[in-house]
Amino acid sequence: MEYVTLNNGVKMPMLGAGTFLMSPDEAEESVYSALTSGISLVDTANAYLNEKAVGRAMARSGLRREDIFLETKLWPSFYEQPDAVDKTLERLGTDYIDLLLIHQPAGNYIEGYRQMEAAYNAGKVRAIGLSNMTSEQILEILSICEVKPAILQTEVHPYNQEKELKRFLNLEDMHIQAWYPLGHGDKALINEPVFTRLAGKYGKSNAQIILRWHIQAGDIVIPGSRNPAHIAANADIFDFALSAGEMAEIAALDSGKRYYESTPEKLAGYAAMVPDVDRQK
């Protein structure tokens, strides 16, 4: 495993397991497979409705809590609820969260950030960050924060490399974390000739080449999978390195293509949506 050190000194794995769009049963098995395959970073969210399942998988794994890096995200409708972090901890079955993010720049996200800062200062959270925000929204947070965000989680993959945003984050001593690191499973992306050629050269799969590219580009990645063999393969990317020329070939694939587009209408919908977190399995 490779690691980054966040701007407050916390050490974070660069490869994790995502649980987006997974049912509780799927999330529990996926996270258990990840934790028993050498992946210690786990990503979930209030809105995924599988936090309880993630907590069960952590307990089943037999790993010490300090050997797991747990990440979750506050949903907009909870930003102004003063007990939102405590309820999140209760669902996860833990007394602290390693990384807590603002999930969407919707609703009163400034108040949500204040709530995360309070949790950080109380020792309930080891690091805090943002998700799905533009550089302008990040600057807004930076202008009011007492605890600097450590992470921006956003869509990054070979077709959408966010080079300018990464330069901005580097200047602010923040790391980027990629969701959809494999392009939401887009076969056109995964089967790009450069990945097929490099997979043959290194004895890896196309997906492993893409994940290795992310790591060398400085991206923290959270690919999601329900397949134990794929999860184990995701962890097997630290025994080789792409050359500078190969990294440049992949950089040339950047076209700005996204698989998700935020709109004011979507953000308004997020602010109004109240996930039924208390009834999750």
CATH of the domain at 107: 3.20.20.100
Q: What is the pLDDT of residue 87?
A: 97
Residue bearing tokens 């996930």: 275
Percent of the chain with pLDDT over 70: 100
Reply yes or no on whether the pLDDT at 278 is more than 90: no
Average of pLDDT values for 230-235?
Answer: 97
Short-list 102, 100, 122, CA closest to 110: 102
**Which 8-state DSSP code applies to residue 222?**
-
pLDDT tens digit sequence for 99-132: 999 999 999 999 999 999 999 999 999 999 999 9
Q: E strands within the chain? A: 3-5, 11-13, 16-18, 41-43, 69-74, 99-102, 128-131, 151-155, 175-179, 220-221
Place of tokens 């992470």: 151
**81, HSE (Cβ side, Cα atoms, 13 Å):** 12
CA distances from 105 to 46, 79, 86, 232, 238 (A): 15, 11, 21, 34, 34
User: What is the reported pLDDT for 47?
Assistant: 97
- Contacts of 100 by beta carbon, 8 Å cutoff, 6+ apart: 71, 72, 73, 74, 85, 88, 116, 119, 120, 125, 127, 128, 129
Per-residue pLDDT at 72 exceeds 90 = yes
pTM: 0.96
What is the domain range of residue 118? 3-279
Instruction: Name the domain count of the chain.
Output: 1
Share of the chain above pLDDT 90, in %: 99
120 is an active site residue: no
- Look up residue 95 and give its DSSP letter: S
Q: Read off the pLDDT of each residue in 68-95 and give the average, rounded to a whole number.
A: 98
Among residues 61, 68, 56, which one has the least CA distance to residue 24?
56
Q: Out of 32, 48, 113, 180, which one is annotated catalytic?
A: 48
Residues 6+ apart with CB under 8 A from 169: 138, 152, 175, 176
Mean pLDDT, residues 170-180 taken together: 98
